A and B are shown apart, each in its own frame.
Chain A
């Protein structure tokens, strides 16, 4: 699945330029000239990031974001605005933005800031390393090394371990895992989770000395 980015910008030339630059990065872009149909679109499509102008016909950009946040949308937002005063930048963050770029801007910087946010928030972007104790997961090659030796995991096992490390010290219950790793709570049972976790444990800790994943009775699992 590709990363989807919504761009709200009323300058058509600039909108075209941004869409062109981002499509070259293999992002899928959807452009809007104002905020009118954006909420409906976010309801229907799973969007990874919003790039938001502020001076727009109709609703002002940061006010629009404030209303989105109030409705419970948590999609990451980068403002791209000519409003460059300190107080305006602060206002943008206070109303629920994740980053703020002032116009005129450097396209390369926009791209890098997008990558920086997506690394933290998107399941659809595959780059970067994640580690825990002597485990290192590489998202781009989807490989795991345990104590510097490579261990083969299935796609599902990789995603499961990734979810645990992303939520270090947090107990994950089986419902959460089915929803976020299997992405299907209907057709699988709790037993599916138990079996998968046992198999991962055997792979990453064959001598059973390291105890990475603990079972919290009646609640779920956590990585320690």
Chain B
């Protein structure tokens, strides 16, 4: 899942430059040339960061941020502004900003500051990938080929164990110990049944062959 950045900037050249640069970095970008629809978008989309100009036609950027802070919007904000005096910068922070970049700015520094702030505030850091399976540890959801897959608690733990041990042969005994650790029902057959069911869930057409059975040994995700 990409992080979404909202840019509020009335000069189209700068807006284009920032949008181009951040898109190339792998972010989804929403652009606004004024503040008209900003709160609606914040309500509907999962915005990770706001880049905020200050000299806007209808309002002043810090006043706007201050007003949305008072409504409880807690999104990280970086000002990008030609207002570059010390007092201007202090105003920006006092109005609830997280960082302040003065124009003209170095695009590499903008990228670095965006990345640093998102890293601190993002909840989507713990992501594991295997082929077209991704696992998001923050909400414990597996996604296969772009679709969220519903698994039982046991199947979740089982697939997670395989993801942690990509390309490693796991014997039934190891799986019983790791996945069924607090269960009384510890039979080798239990593992076979659970894996069969897991395979049906993650590969209903049976053509992806994520988990292979190695006869007499165990199973491997490869």
Q: Which A residues lie at the B interface, using CB under 8 A?
A: 76, 86, 89-90, 93-94, 97-99, 106, 108-109, 112-113, 115-117, 119-121, 128-132, 136, 167-171, 217-219, 222
Contact = CB atoms under 8 A, between A and B. Distances in A.
A99 B109 contact: no
Interface string B100-117: 000000101100110111
Contact of B108 (A90, A112, A171): A90
Given A86-B108, A89-B112, A169-B123, A219 B140 contact: yes
Nearest to B106: A86
B109 A128 contact: no
Contacts of B93: 109, 112-113, 115-116
B76 to A, nearest CB: 7
Contact of A131 (B74, B96, B109): B74
Contacts of A128: 69, 74, 96
Contact of B94 (A90, A112, A170, A217): A112
A115 B93 CA distance: 9
B72 interface: yes
B116 A136 contact: no
B97 interface: yes
Interface residues on B, range: 20 to 34
A209 B140 CA distance: 26
Contacts of A132: 72
Contacts of A170: 123, 138-139
A44 B137 CA distance: 29
A120 B121 contact: yes
B127 interface: no
Main secondary structure of the interface of A (DSSP, over half): mixed
B76 A120 contact: yes
20 contacts: A86-B106, A89-B109, A93-B113, A97-B116, A99-B113, A116-B97, A120-B121, A121-B120, A128-B74, A128-B96, A130-B72, A131-B72, A136-B72, A167-B123, A168-B123, A169-B139, A170-B123, A170-B139, A171-B140, A219-B140
Contact of A108 (B90, B97, B99, B108): B90
A84 to B, nearest CB: 11
The 6 closest A-B pairs by CB, nearest first: A131-B72, A93-B112, A112-B93, A218-B153, A86-B106, A170-B138
Nearest to A94: B112
Contacts of A171: 138-140
Contacts of A112: 90, 93-94
B109 A90 contact: yes
Nearest to A130: B74
Contacts of A90: 106, 108-109, 112
B86 interface: yes
Interface string B49-75: 000000000000000000001111110
A108 B86 contact: yes
B90 A109 contact: yes
A221 to B, nearest CB: 12
B220 interface: no
B120 A76 contact: yes
Contacts of B86: 106, 108-109
A116 B108 CA distance: 22
Given A93-B113, A116-B97, A129 B120 contact: no
Contacts of A129: 69-70, 72, 74
Nearest to B69: A129
Contacts of A119: 98
Contacts of A222: 139
B98 A116 contact: yes
A194 to B, nearest CB: 17
Given A86-B108, A108-B86, A112-B94, A93 B138 contact: no
Contacts of A89: 106, 109, 112
